[in-house]
Structure 1
């Protein structure tokens, strides 16, 4: 099957492309800079802001993966909405039979953050032109280079003691990036997943503070937590930008989302794509190992 991957050079996309090739698919890796692409699949030029380029990139594709977001942009909601609308329309015009999208966990009944609301809005906009969408909703994805994981790792490695706001007690259900990729590849072979949304997560439901403590234990580092309930989202994001390499805009967007519980409420994906996801500690060890390997080869 010929498939397009939008976001082929990103955290998830660069891992997904080789797995799709290994599964026997013909992969078009969409990028704004195809001349410099060195990953798996055939590079193809395309920009989610340019619907014409999308139609060309999608020509003769049976399915298209959408792994795009604009977290670092202050106007990310508008940009992501326009990009999703373009992608859905281009897919319909090109005759694409399915879109597979990686979105975010969070209960619709909750007062979702702007980031999570945007993720949910994108689901609808991708499908608005009539192409069935399969959505996989994930919380924190653990793997070398992932923004949420890097915040966790850097906080532990840079701070022996941490001033913590209320959001550190929010529950989440982290998942290893390799398991996200397994689900993304798996649903492609399951036509019955078209037009449906699925929650995906690892086996552990943890508070953010528990995640930090477990990383500290694995790395053998001291880690003391000092609660400060009134630490505002703005101050939290400024603080993150000081002690991690995440920019303030992205940090604020993520901090706002940390007040929302993001746990799996429907395990039906496990019946359709059956395997045992890694637990949190194993995912952390794999992420740290990948980082060490990348350091040795850079």
Structure 2
């Protein structure tokens, strides 16, 4: 995740306590990066520390809180791994992806962060009874 000519980065990982975030943190830390990882839940701050990240408890739907967290992190890269799929509420996930992403981008710009890495999702198959065939 880092090349010979790129020193370790300070990365703000939005969605750090999620399924992907928990797998990304050890890779980033092993590559020499400093990671500040978000969670909405106090109970998830300990596991984030155990993975090598500094936890930032923040609700990304709160624009002011996101701006403060990104600013305080001193990040030079923001990594977007936000989803809200655990509860199966597609409307909540859509709001998080739409509004949370906007808040995250605005916070990064306000803090002078010049790099944002974002995951993308796309539901391309029509719902059906079995696995989709290519």
Q: TM-score, normalised by structure 2?
A: 0.74
Output aligned runs, 1:76-95, within 5 Å. Answer: 76-95=93-112
The runs of at least 4 consecutive aligned structure 1 residues that moved more than 4 Å come to: none
Unaligned runs of at least 5 residues, structure 1: 107-111, 115-163, 172-298
Superposed displacement of residue 46, structure 1: 1.6
1:65 corresponding residue in structure 2: 79
Find the residue that maps to 1:103 and give its secondary structure. Answer: coil
Unaligned runs of at least 5 residues, structure 2: 1-8
In the superposition, relative to structure 1, how do residues 87 and 23 fare at CA in structure 2: closer, same or farther (>3 Å)? same
Find the residue that maps to 2:120 and give its secondary structure. Answer: strand
Pick one of 67, 73, 76 that aligns with 1:55.
Answer: 67
| RMSD, matched Cα | 2.4
Matching of residue 3 in structure 1 with residue 11 in structure 2: yes
Superposed displacement of residue 113, structure 1: 6.4
Could you tell me whether the CA contact under 8 Å between 1:65 and 1:100 is conserved in 2?
yes
Output aligned runs, 1:4-23, within 5 Å. Answer: 4-23=12-31
Larger radius of gyration: 1
In the superposition, relative to structure 1, how do residues 20 and 80 fare at CA in structure 2: closer, same or farther (>3 Å)? same
Instruction: Provide the C-alpha distance between the structure 1 equivalents of 2:111 and 2:125, rounded to a whole number of angstroms.
Output: 34
Structure number having the greater helix percentage: 1
